[in-house]
Chain A
Amino acid sequence: MNTFTARHAMGERVEGIALVAKDGFSARYDLDRLQGVFSRPAHKLAGQSYRDRILVLDAAKGGVATAWMLHEMKTRGITPLALVFNAVNPIMAQGAALADLPMLAGFDCDITSVIASGARVELIPDQALLRVLG
């Protein structure tokens, strides 16, 4: 199977390279937002650049600051291309909406275990679909 349906979706269609980990995501605590890399040492993507990648992660975490920080990252042009989560909270949805970042969340499988890092994927939010291209 190479197409997955999400329960929640927003944003425009986008295609890019996936960066995948069974770990959480907080813009405030996990990232060096100036360099565009995961900076929290314990994070499974520590040291890796998220710039222009489609992030595929387990759950949105952290406090309310993420709602502002995705927008701030977007104005500097150092953001993921899109966000994909197993589970998402309102703050991440509000932040993605303000930053105009495409996002999918909520699948019938663990999405981090079925998408490989480096795979080329397409997000189709108007159909709530994630498609693996290769």
Chain B
Amino acid sequence: MRLDEVERAMLAGEMGPVRQMALRHQITVGDFFGAPDFVPVSQAHVMADTESLGEAGVAWLEALARHPASERRVRVPTITDPRGTDFLHAKLLGQAGWMLTLEQRAIDAFVKLGVLMTDTCINYQTVQAPSRGEHVAFGDTGVVIYSNSVCGARSNFEGGPSALSAGLTGRTPRYGFHLEAQRRATLHVVTDWTPQTLDQWGALGGVIGRLAGHYWAVPVIEGIERAPGSDELKHFGAAMASFGSVALFHIVGVTPEAPRLSDVVAPGGALPEHRVGRADAQALEASYRVDEAIDVVVFSGPQLSLLELASLATLCDDRRFVVPVLAVTSPQIKPDADRMGLTARIEAAGGTVLAGMCFYQSYAREIAQANGWKRLVTNSAKMVNILGGYGYQPMLASMEACVDAACTGRLA
């Protein structure tokens, strides 16, 4: 990779061993993908729940945090993905003390590195959305696909070590979705169906993700009849990323890089065409319906926006739950939900509003065992794709159906 003067100084250790390590790591990755040079980034977003980090990852962060402040602090605004707990509700979740200790150690280290503990996977709704063409180093697949597709920003999937490295150096290797040519569509998806509910948007995203199948695939979707809202695109993209490892999609006439189909198709290029519709999304949803009885209802993955919490609160009025209901939001939204009475309305029905965590990144297997949870219902297609790997029987349904199920213990 070509290095500029600042990068050569970092690599030589003139800006301390932390930045030297970070740049070396980035060069290894950049060389692997043939990156010609680095591109400056304006923000980094670090995924670092302690289930993933383990003791080794936390110790690695702590070692970085022991260096002098001038050498260890990030150079561009660096924020965090959800933590592995909501400390106020850890007992309710059945989390063990060692999990909380590990979380606190990670937080302490991040703070010393100058990282802003935003603890959110919906930073594009709550902190600051990137603008079109802005190069960033984001580290949650749902955040990356939304930022690339809906905002028109430039990011690869940056795992925790790489996102933190980008924060420390202020740059990232220029490969993948930082390159204009990589952002062209590779498959054409035609649909005659525009979903109405968030679970339907997630299911359609999951169907397209499976079709796309890998990170370098870029679907362009034609046939969506209206401009979807932010929460709809959030579920659509998060599911596509989860089912297919996809980092960028275009919707003709909706997303900023695709006013017309021809804007995202290489000149003379003919794309493989697929037709998907309501039946495909229903089939995906039906494939997870293994039982009627349920143990727990979870709204998470991604964290809920204020508008989603408002919808949920309305559905909870005058209801009484017979199974636990967990609604997970960001630390930025929770105070608003408290102030506006949304939290109280959800909790009056027997639910719990949690903040700053993500259900599947919070030792999901262990909390299932601690609480006897197996049959889980959610309106998040991303969650049903992931939680099977943690021993759950996840089922997908609309928010309304989830609330009804919470009142009866059965999913109709």
A contact residues vs B (CB 8 Å cutoff): 8-10, 28-29, 40, 59, 61-69, 71-72, 74-76, 87, 89-91, 93-95, 97-98, 103
Q: With A59-B214, A61-B245 in contact, do A68 and B158 touch (Cβ < 8 Å)? A: no
- How many CB-defined contacts (below 8 Å) exist between A and B? 100
Q: Is the CB of A64 within 8 A of B141?
A: yes
Question: What residues of A have a CB within 8 angstroms of the CB of B225 in the complex?
Answer: none
Q: Is the CB of B60 within 8 A of A71?
A: yes
Give 7 A-B pairs besides A28-B389, A65-B159, A66-B159 with Cβ atoms closer than 8 angstroms.
A10-B31, A64-B158, A90-B158, A90-B159, A90-B162, A94-B162, A95-B159
The 10 closest A-B pairs by CB, nearest first: A67-B159, A72-B54, A89-B215, A75-B56, A29-B389, A65-B52, A97-B28, A94-B162, A68-B52, A94-B159
Contact pick for A93, options B32, B49, B55, CB 8 Å:
B32
Contact pick for A67, options B31, B54, B160, B389, CB 8 Å:
B160
B153 within 8 A of A: no
Contact pick for B161, options A9, A59, A71, CB 8 Å:
A71
- A74 to B, closest residue via Cβ: B56
Task: Determine how close the nearest CB of chain A comes to the CB of B141; give it in whole angstroms.
Answer: 5
B219 within 8 A of A: no
Q: Is the CB of B389 within 8 A of A93?
A: no
Task: Determine how close the nearest CB of chain A comes to the CB of B57; give it in whole angstroms.
Answer: 5
Considering the chains assembled together, what is the distance between the CA atoms of A100 and B396 in angstroms? 39
Q: Is the CB of B48 within 8 A of A68?
A: yes
- B54 to A, closest residue via Cβ: A72
Considering the chains assembled together, what is the distance between the CA atoms of A61 and B148 in angstroms? 20
Question: What residues of B have a CB within 8 angstroms of the CB of A94 in the complex?
Answer: 25, 29, 158-159, 161-162
Q: Is the CB of A40 within 8 A of B389?
A: yes
User: Contact mask B130-166 → A, CB, 8 Å, 1/0?
Assistant: 0000000001110000000000000011111110000
Question: What residues of B have a CB within 8 angstroms of the CB of A59 in the complex?
Answer: 214
Q: Is the CB of A63 within 8 A of B141?
A: yes
Q: Is the CB of B139 within 8 A of A10?
A: no
Task: Determine how close the nearest CB of chain B comes to the CB of A21; give it in whole angstroms.
Answer: 17
B303 within 8 A of A: no
Question: What residues of B have a CB within 8 angstroms of the CB of A95 in the complex?
Answer: 159, 161
Considering the chains assembled together, what is the distance between the CA atoms of A10 and B139 in angstroms? 22
Considering the chains assembled together, what is the distance between the CA atoms of A82 and B57 in angstroms? 20
Contact pick for A90, options B31, B57, B60, B156, CB 8 Å:
B156
Q: With A64-B139, A89-B215 in contact, do A72 and B57 touch (Cβ < 8 Å)? A: yes
Q: With A10-B32, A64-B159, A67-B161 in contact, do A28 and B52 touch (Cβ < 8 Å)? A: yes
